[in-house]
Amino acid sequence: MVASFSVLELLLTTYGHAFGALVFHLLGMDRIRTAIRRLKVAQQRLVDEGCESDCPCEPTDWRSQTISLTTLEEVEIDGFEGEDHEFDFLRLIVRCAPMLRRMNLKLSWEASESNDVCAKISKFFREFSSLECRAHHSSG
């Protein structure tokens, strides 16, 4: 039996793999989906290269799934790299969480130094102007 909780904190070592499909699968579990108010994903990437295009970490349909995250109010991603799959994950969360109010992206060192990543984040935040959004360098 799972105890009552409102915060889900995931510490992931990705080894170059995408995390969105896995995290979304976990969020779809009934006891998590109906209780979670705050999601924090801390990722540590140990490999610079991404995985193969047919890798199981990126099933073809995960971006089109819908689950009801009616209690989710806040999302934090620590170690945000600015990869397309990370933005896809955030868009999916925004679409499925009508009560979402805050999004906090703690950028990896590489992402915080990249003008392209910062421009993509700024564009993303403009798309969802109703959210309170922050992006800053992760302190470690």
If you average pLDDT over each of 1-5, 31-35, 93-97, 112-116, which comes out highest?
93-97
| pLDDT (tens digit per residue) in 21-56 | 888 888 988 888 888 999 999 998 766 666 777 777
Predicted local distance difference test score (pLDDT) of residue 50: 67
Tell me the mean pLDDT in the region 56-72. 83
Q: Are 104 and 134 in contact (CB under 8 A)?
A: yes
Question: Cα 68 from chain centroid?
Answer: 16
Tell me the mean pLDDT in the region 56-70. 82
Q: Is 78 left (phi over 0), alpha (psi -120 to 50) or beta?
A: beta
Q: What is the pTM of this model?
A: 0.85
**Angle of the 115-127 helix axis to the 84-96 helix axis, nearest 10:** 10
Is pLDDT of 2 > 70? no
Residue 69's pLDDT band, with cuts at 50, 70 and 90, is very high
Predicted local distance difference test score (pLDDT) of residue 47: 64
Please classify residue 53 by burial: count the beta carbons closer than 10 Å to its beta carbon, then call 0-12 exposed, 13-18 middle and 19+ buried.
exposed
Arithmetic mean of pLDDT over the chain: 87
How far is the first Cα of the chain from the last one, in angstroms, to the nearest whole number? 34
Predicted local distance difference test score (pLDDT) of residue 68: 93
Q: Are strands 74-80 and 7-13 parallel, antiparallel or unpaired?
A: unpaired
Report the SS3 class of residue 88. helix
| Closest to 20 (Cα-Cα) out of 10, 5, 30 | 10
State how far the Cα of 72 lies from the Cα of 75, in Å rounded to an integer.
8
Pull the structure tokens for residue 104. 């906090």
Pull the structure tokens for residue 40. 């924090």
